Structures are given as structure tokens and as C-alpha cells.
Amino acid sequence: MDKKIVLVGAGSSSFGPSMLSDLLLSNVLSGCTIVLHDIDKEKLEIIYELITVENKRNNNKFNFERTTSRVEAFKGADFVISSIEVGDRHSLWLQDHEIPRKYGSTQILGECGGPGGTFHAFRVIPPIIDIVKDAEKICPNTFFINFSNPMARVCLAIKRVTKNLKFIGLCHQIHFLNHHIPKMLNKKLEELKLKVVGLNHFGFLVGLEDLTTCKDLMPEFDSKILDYYKDKWDRFEFSDLTFEVYDRFGYFPHSGDNHLGEYLQFGEEFTKQQDMVDWINRSEQLGKGIHGRIIKYHKRLKKGRYPKKGVFLKAPSGERAVPIIESILTDKNSYESSINIPNDGIITNLPEDLIIEGPARVDKDGIHGIKIGNLPKNIAAILRIEATIQDLCIEAIIKRSKELAIACLAVDPNVGSFKKADIIFSEMMEIQKKYLSYFK
């Protein structure tokens, strides 16, 4: 197939290997040109040299190129898959977590929600805006897939700064449900149709269907879920907070305690702070482990002792970018249970100008969100609170407004006062000035 696919951030140890593994496993995309793009030339070269060997072992299924030039990378691109971060992610994440709490914030994690999620957005969205504006100018017909967090805010920024760019956001948090529900119901995942709706990391299972019989499986799910999880509670996954929200709101939240709690002021009541710090550190260790493996295999390559098994996965990573691209190019009309897309009337009691996460159909014309209608009022209420914060966050970034940035922090229930917002912003500006100095 003669298509050009660009990986932005290809030098990343956490992003590059999984995307390249999925591409190597794809027969549909055989013949495509894959452009690896990163601003870190050294890391880019390492990934390129490894994938060149793997591609040769696969009969040169693809034409691989690499470049540090965004203009060169984007020329004629049919698809752009982007996952970037800025700075030392671990150190910055710990600052996002610790400093708001030092001044009384109730946030529990600080990655995608709460004041920590806001500062994460403040740092990463400006360079992403530059990327998508270039994409719209250089390859206006491209299909842009974002993996960067904070997902909902990044995608909302893309929506507001581009006019006609086709884009979606993808997150693998649905994997928890994909793993457990088939076991719970004694069925295969491909026999099930999950309908998970809400915002990224803040969605609820509102529908579950047996594809072979069209039977509604939600009553069975509700009857089995508590017994199933009696011995499976996980401090990083489904635990006290998840089941408290399930009990109070009547629908099962899919993201796990650590991410769900980012958006709820009462999340602190049902989680332990050490667990959240452990999660941040575990994420760092996982990244270091992948990076270390890449470096180890690259050294062996340079010594002429590259292992036959190779460094890339021999099974799909679970990320949905490659399957979605395949569905578009083959007009498969496939069902995806969890895609971040503009609301545009999909959920009628949430703002139109919002990025929602929900099910969609994929065909040659792209992504088509499946209409949900009204969500239950209690769920819509807590989602609208977060929607308001996201709205103000993106407005502050686009206008480079310190005043709006502080207001965004103050109205967040995890801060709740201008006094706290002022001092949090002041200290974060001091230690993250390199990334926040654009606010005036």
C-alpha cells in the first residue's frame, strides 16, 4: 500500500517501540513509507537502526525514513501519529503532584486532572499547537492521531486552533475492562460490544452487548461485578474509589482509582497518597526499563550480536492506532469502543465544544462518533465540572493569559480558592519557568 505514515516522537522508548511493533505486524499496511520524526537526533538514530534490521528480517515490508525536520516529515503525509512530552517527565510530574498539595489542594495524582493536570497541559500543549498547525499547513489532508496527555485538553486545543484538521485522540485505559469483563462473563472480547462514555480517564460503562445474540449484558455485569472483584482489588486499578463511585452513581467507572480520582474532590478520601506516588515512580521505572532494553539491544547490534528474537513485540501492543488506520484504508466499518473526538451532539447534555471519549465507527471517511443522547444527570453533572475547567485551561493557553491560568486553578474543586491558586501558580512559575514563561 502506497501511504505515508509519520511517527512524531518516534525516539521515545515508550511510544516508538509499541507503534513500530504494531506496524511490523500489519500486512494491510505493507509497502507504506514510515517516517520516524523526533527532535532528539541521537534517540531517533537508535530507533531507526533497530527498525532497519527488523524490517530487513521482514523482507523490507516497509520503507523506513527518519528526519529531525518536521517540514520534511509532514510533506505528503497521509497519517500522523504523535506522542510527545517536554522536559524530564518524572521530575515535572512529581512537582505537579507535590506542590499543589503543599498548599492544600486535594488532588491525588496530577497527570490529567486537578491542578497538576493543568500544569501538564500548560507545558505540553504549546508545542503540540505548533505541530498541528504545521500539519494543517503542510499536509492538510492528513489524519492526525494524538497520544499525548492530558488527552482531553490536548485534543480540545487541537480542535480550537485548527480549522479542518481531521484528528482523534487514543488512550489505552479501556484495557482494564477489556481484560476483566470477558473473564467475568466467560466470553471472548470479540464477542462483546462495550459502550464506555464520558471524558478521557473519566468515563463510565453505560452499555454492554453480546454481539452474537444482541443480548443486553448490563444486568449480568451488575449482578456479577462485586463478587468478581472481591479478591481482585488493586490500588492502581479498581479499588475503594471505583466502587464508591459505582455505588453512588450507578454506573461503573472504567479508568481505575488513580485516574478517576484526579477529577473528584472526594477522591482523596478513598485513596492513599503513597499509592499515588508509587504509581508515578512505577511509571518512571517502566519507562526506564523499556529504554534500557532498547539501549541494550542497540549495543548488541553495534557489536554484530543482535538477537534473533529482536527487540520489538511479536504480538499487538493493544494500542489502536494501526487497526484504525487499517480500517480507514480498507473501509472496514469497524467498531471502536473508546475514541476521543469532538462532541458535536454525541452527548446532548454536555457542551458541544468539548472532547468526549466514547464509541465510534471507522470507515473510509474516517471516524463517526455513535450518538449517545443524554447521560444520567448525576454523571453529566460531574463531567460538566471538569468540562468547565478544560475550557478555561485551553483559553488560558491560547491567549497566554496568566489571569485565566490562575482562574482555571481557582475554580477547580481540587483547589477551590484564588488564594491557593495564586501561590501554587507563583511557585510553579518559579520552578517551571522554562515552560510557563509565555503567560503574561
Q: What is the pLDDT of residues 19-30, one digit of tens each?
A: 999 999 999 999
Question: What mean pLDDT do residues 51-60 have?
Answer: 95
User: Could you give the 3-state DSSP secondary structure of residue 384?
Assistant: helix
Show contacts of 191-196: CB within 8 Å, 24+ apart: 192/217, 193/335, 193/337, 194/337, 194/338, 194/359, 195/337, 195/358, 195/359, 195/370, 195/372, 196/254, 196/337, 196/338, 196/357, 196/358, 196/359
Q: How high is the pLDDT of residue 53?
A: 96
Question: What mean pLDDT do residues 396-425 have?
Answer: 98
Q: What is the pLDDT of residues 254-294, one digit of tens each?
A: 999 999 999 999 999 999 999 999 999 999 999 999 999 99
Q: How confident is the model at residue 236 (pLDDT cuts 50, 70, 90)?
A: confident
- C-alpha span between 191 and 200 (Å, rounded): 24
Q: How high is the pLDDT of residue 2?
A: 94
User: Could you give the 3-state DSSP secondary structure of residue 81?
Assistant: strand
Which of 90, 172, 180, 368 is catalytic? The answer is 172
Question: What mean pLDDT do residues 222-230 have?
Answer: 96
Query: Is pLDDT at 296 greater than 90 in this prediction?
Result: yes
Q: How high is the pLDDT of residue 314?
A: 87
The residue type found at 367 is I
Contact 73, 223 (CB under 8 A): no
Q: What percent of the chain has pLDDT over 90?
A: 97
Q: How high is the pLDDT of residue 199?
A: 98
Q: How confident is the model at residue 15 (pLDDT cuts 50, 70, 90)?
A: confident
- C-alpha span between 116 and 104 (Å, rounded): 13
Query: Is pLDDT at 14 greater than 80 in this prediction?
Result: no
Q: How confident is the model at residue 106 (pLDDT cuts 50, 70, 90)?
A: very high
Q: How high is the pLDDT of residue 43?
A: 95
CA dihedral sign, ordered 185, 244, 277, 200:
positive
Q: How high is the pLDDT of residue 16?
A: 85
Contact 283, 236 (CB under 8 A): no
Q: How high is the pLDDT of residue 424?
A: 98
How much is the pTM? 0.97
Q: How high is the pLDDT of residue 290?
A: 92
H or E stretch including 100? helix 89-102
Whole-number mean pLDDT of the chain?
96
Q: What is the pLDDT of residues 78-88, one digit of tens each?
A: 999 999 999 99
Q: Which residues of 251-265 are buried (b: 16+ CB within 10 A; e: fewer)?
A: bbbbbbbbbbbbbbb
Contact 421, 415 (CB under 8 A): yes
Q: What is the pLDDT of residues 356-377, one digit of tens each?
A: 999 999 999 999 999 999 999 9
Instruction: Give the alpha-carbon dihedral of 319, 71, 311, 25, to 10 degrees.
Output: 50
Q: Which residues of 295-315 are buried (b: 16+ CB within 10 A; e: fewer)?
A: eebbeebeeeebeeebbbeee
Q: How high is the pLDDT of residue 13?
A: 77
Question: What mean pLDDT do residues 191-197 have?
Answer: 97
The residue type found at 344 is D
- Backbone phi, then psi, for 341, in 5-degree steps? -145, 160
Q: How confident is the model at residue 239 (pLDDT cuts 50, 70, 90)?
A: very high
Work out the end-to-end distance of the chain between its first and last CA atoms, rounded to an integer number of angstroms.
48
Question: What mean pLDDT do residues 207-234 have?
Answer: 96
Q: What is the pLDDT of residues 313-369, one digit of tens each?
A: 889 999 999 999 999 999 999 999 999 999 999 999 999 999 999 999 999 999 999
Q: How high is the pLDDT of residue 327?
A: 98
The residue type found at 282 is R
Q: What is the pLDDT of residues 108-151, one digit of tens each?
A: 999 999 999 999 999 999 999 999 999 999 999 999 999 999 99
- C-alpha span between 14 and 182 (Å, rounded): 27
Query: Is pLDDT at 170 greater than 90 in this prediction?
Result: yes
The residue type found at 303 is K
Q: How high is the pLDDT of residue 434?
A: 97
Would you call 254 a catalytic residue per the annotation? no
Q: How high is the pLDDT of residue 349?
A: 98
Contact 334, 33 (CB under 8 A): no
Residue spans of alpha helices (H) in 205-346: 218-228, 240-249, 257-260, 273-302, 321-330
Q: Report DSSP state, residue 355.
A: E
Q: How high is the pLDDT of residue 373?
A: 97
Q: Report DSSP state, residue 200.
A: T
